[in-house]
Amino acid sequence: MIKVIGFDLDDTLWAVKPVIIGAEVALKAYLKDCLPNVDFSQERLLTIRKQLLEEDPSLSFKLTVFRQTLLTRTMTDSGLETSQTEQLAAAAMAVFLQARNQVIFYPGTFAALSELAEDYILCALTNGNADIKKLGLDHLFEFSLSAEQVGAAKPDPTLFEAALKRTNIKAHEMIYVGDDPLLDVDAAAQLGIRTIWKSNPKKQSDLITKPDAQIQQLSELPAAVAQIIERHC
Ligand SMILES: [Mg+2]
C-alpha cells in the first residue's frame, strides 16, 4: 500500500539551470550596486570557493551556508569589517534565494500534484535549496527536507530515511519521483522505495537501477503511480 510520494525538485518539477543562472545574475547586479569596490569576479570566487571547501568539505551540500560564507569571506578578504560582512552577505543571499525560487514549473506539475495530494502524503527531498513555501507548493507538500537540513546529500540514504521515519512508514510504502538515475532512482531503490524516473535524456547513460515506472511529462504521473500500485499492492 503506497502512502507517501516523495519528490526531487530541481529538474523534476522545473528546469534548474535557467533558475540558477537568473539567481546569479540578480546576485551579481545587487553586489555591484551595493559593493562596487569589492571584486566578485568568477575567477576570484572560484579561488575562495576552493579554499572554503578545503577547510570544510561538508560545505559542498550546505548550499545556502556555502554561498553565504563565500560572500562573507570575499568581503572580509577585500578589507571590509567583519561586523559589516555578515549582514551584507545575508542581504545578498536573500536576493539570490528570492530569484532562486522564481521557477517555471514543467507543464502539468500543479494538476498532477493536486490530484496525488488528495490520496497521498507528498514530500520534497532535495539536495538543493529551493523553498516550497516561496514556490507556493506548501499547501500540496506535507513537508520538505533538504540535504543541508539532514547533513547529507543524496545518494546518501539519510534524506530518504528521514522521510520514512517522519511518516512512520516502510520503504515499500513510498514512491520517490526524480530525474537523476543515480541520486534519485538508484539511491531510493537501494532502500526498497518504489521509484519513478522523470526521464532526463542528459542522464540516461548513468541509469543503474531500472525504475518501477518512467514518465516524460508530469501529467503522466498519476497514471504511473496507479500502475505501480496495481503491480505491487
Ligand atoms: Mg533533480
Q: What confidence tens digit (pLDDT) does each residue in 47-86 have?
A: 999 999 999 999 999 999 999 999 999 999 999 998 899 9
Q: Cβ(130)–Cβ(7) under 8 Å? A: no
The verdict on 53 and 160 lying in the same domain is no
CA distance 70 to 52: 7
Is the domain of 179 the same as that of 150? Answer: yes
Q: Is the confidence at residue 180, as pLDDT, over 90?
A: yes
pTM score: 0.90
| Pairing relationship of beta strands 213-215 and 194-198 according to DSSP bridges | parallel
Q: Which three cell numbers stand for residue 105?
A: 514549473
Residues 110 and 190 in one domain: yes
Domain co-membership, 96 together with 108? no
CA distance 151 to 47: 25
Q: State the CATH number of the domain containing residue 83.
A: 1.20.120.1600
Å from CA of 161 to ligand 1 middle: 18
Q: What is d(CA 182, CA 162) in angstroms, rounded to the nearest whole number?
A: 19
Report how far ligand 1's centroid is from the alpha carbon of 78 (Å): 35
pLDDT digits (tens, 9 = 90+) for 203-224: 776 667 889 999 999 999 999 9
Shared domain for 96 and 178, answered yes or no, is no
Do 59 and 120 sit in the same domain of this protein? no
Of 67, 82, 100, the last residue of a domain is 100
User: How many Å lie between the centroid of ligand 1 and the Cα of residue 6?
Assistant: 12
Q: CA-CA distance, 199 to 179, in Å (whole number)?
A: 6
Give me the number of domains the chain comprises: 2
Same domain assignment for residues 25 and 64: yes
Instruction: Give me the domain span that covers residue 144.
Output: 4-15+104-232
Q: What's the CA-to-centroid distance between 39 and ligand 1, angstroms?
A: 32
In angstroms, the CA 233 to CA 221 distance is 18
Residue with cell 550546505: 62
Grade residue 201 by pLDDT with cuts at 50, 70 and 90: confident
CA of 179 to the centre of ligand 1 (A): 5
